[in-house]
A and B are shown apart, each in its own frame.
Chain A
Amino acid sequence: MRNLLDFLLNYKHWFLFVALECVCLMMLVSYNGYQKSVYFTTANGVVGYTYSLISSVTSYLNLQTENADLEAKNQVLRRRVLELEKQLATVNKDSVHISGLAPKYDIVSAEVVGATTHRSDNLMTINKGEADGIRPEMGVVCSNGVVGVVYLTSAHYSIVIPIINRNSRISCKLRGTQYFGTLTWNRGRADIADIVGIPRHAQAKKGDVILTNGFSDIFPPGIPVGYVIGVKDSPDGMASDLRVALFTKFDCIREVSVITNYSKPERRNLENKADSLFNNN
């Protein structure tokens, strides 16, 4: 005890010195805005660094539980993907490709307000026109498949030439191949059309599905048209003519969609120019 007292007495000026300097530093960081801010910033930096060190160590220790968590979440998601895929498959069976088109193509929905199906030049009137962005030569589809091509437009109505019109010509192909022909209609039943010009070696058979092939600038490729119900040789024997049952039910059609941004005027101008060249010659 006595030694301790001696020690304290011997070094009392050191204690006083340290105490006074501490007082000075405390005053420095309490009463000077700049020094205060520097002190606290430095202090925060040190504390932040320490905490980040600690967390980087503890995060390794927690990896196992995190892995288990992630695995459980993965399982839930996998199950959900399977369910959705199943749902998607059933959805695709019924109402096709309009939803499939949606991200790529702008679509204007319209209602059929008038249609004929038993004349040789059937026409269809829909309740959307130029005011909705519809112009002649735009493709019209419904949930089952291709409907026709816009022919005339007014401000709020449009006339569509359906594929059950003798003037309709639509380029089609067999699904799964690149063989193509032209879809035409020759009066008669409103649910059956013909395809001419499919090469014989395409070996089309009953039940083959017909899709648009995207050669025209009216329809994007891959829109269903119908399925083959009969195959016979063409008169010249070079190609096959196909009888096609159309997917679109023209006698009870109500809702259609017009594809408004697929048509490319630039391409059409070029093709028209080429046509006029040949015609002049």
Chain B
Amino acid sequence: MTYSIVHNLVRLLILLVVQVLLCNNIHIFGYATPLLITYVLISMEKGTGRISLLLWGFFTGLLYDMFSNTAGMASAGMTLLAMILPEVLASFSPHDEDEHVTPSARNMGFWSFAAYTFMCMFVVHTVFYLLDAFMLSNFRLTLLSTFAGTALATVLAVFVDMIFNSSKD
């Protein structure tokens, strides 16, 4: 338990640095920025309690918001993702799997993991960019930013997953 908290905290810090120094400087279409930090939630162990998931989601988002001047946007998206994460994960992983397995390309299969990541990223980016625009005028740009950000974040997350899981071995 303590190990997994420390493990998650270390990952959170590394991803935060990458996010703030690298990803925040990517602006596709002038807006779309990949929220790679979502990977912290995506890689949460299967079977983590909903309360702790919600707290992790909220505070991770809050950290991101503090560094990016986007108060409330990422935290709202990641809290929502944390709420539905168990269901999303269940729909993409085999039912006979071990209760405490960590979602990764190695454990779930590459395409399942990619789809699962895409789904999670999509939820977070949708909320993020909807709150960013805050109205439905210019909805096309919001949609474009959402999909571009989601796609790029998914690719990056899969890449990061490969790095983290290969370093374990």
What residues make up the interface of A, taking CB atoms closer than 8 Å to B? 12-13, 16-17, 20-21, 23-32, 34-35, 38-39
Contact = CB atoms under 8 A, between A and B. Distances in A.
B151 interface: no
Nearest to A29: B72
B65 interface: yes
B71 A30 contact: yes
B83 A24 contact: no
Given A20-B79, A38-B134, A13 B72 contact: no
Nearest to A35: B134
A35 B83 CA distance: 24
Contact of B75 (A12, A24, A32): A24
Interface string B64-101: 01000011110110011011000000000000000000
Nearest to B54: A16
Given A23-B75, A24-B73, 10 more contacts: A13-B50, A13-B54, A24-B58, A27-B72, A28-B76, A29-B72, A31-B71, A32-B71, A32-B72, A34-B134
B88 to A, nearest CB: 15
Contacts of A17: 54, 79-80, 82-83
Contacts of A32: 70-73
Instruction: Summarize A's interface: helix, strand, loop or mixed.
Output: helix
A27 B71 contact: yes
Interface in B121-160: 131, 134-135
B61 interface: yes
Q: How large is the interface on B (under 10, 10 to 19, 20 to 34, 35 or more residues)?
A: 20 to 34
A32 B83 CA distance: 25
10 contacts: A20-B79, A21-B76, A23-B58, A26-B72, A27-B71, A27-B72, A28-B73, A34-B134, A38-B135, A39-B134
Contacts of B75: 20, 23-24, 27
B52 to A, nearest CB: 10
Instruction: Summarize B's interface: helix, strand, loop or mixed.
Output: helix
Nearest to A36: B134
Contacts of A23: 58, 72, 75
B54 A20 contact: yes
A255 B132 CA distance: 81
Q: Of residues B50, B54, B72, B80, which shows the largest number of chain A Cβ atoms within 10 Å of its Cβ?
A: B72
Q: Of residues A23, A31, A35, which shows the largest number of chain B Cβ atoms within 10 Å of its Cβ?
A: A35
Q: Of residues B51, B73, B134, which shows the largest number of chain A Cβ atoms within 10 Å of its Cβ?
A: B134
A28 B75 CA distance: 10
Q: Across the A-B interface, give the 10 residue pairs with the lowest CB-CB distance, nearest first.
A: A28-B72, A27-B72, A31-B71, A24-B76, A13-B50, A27-B71, A24-B72, A20-B79, A24-B75, A20-B58
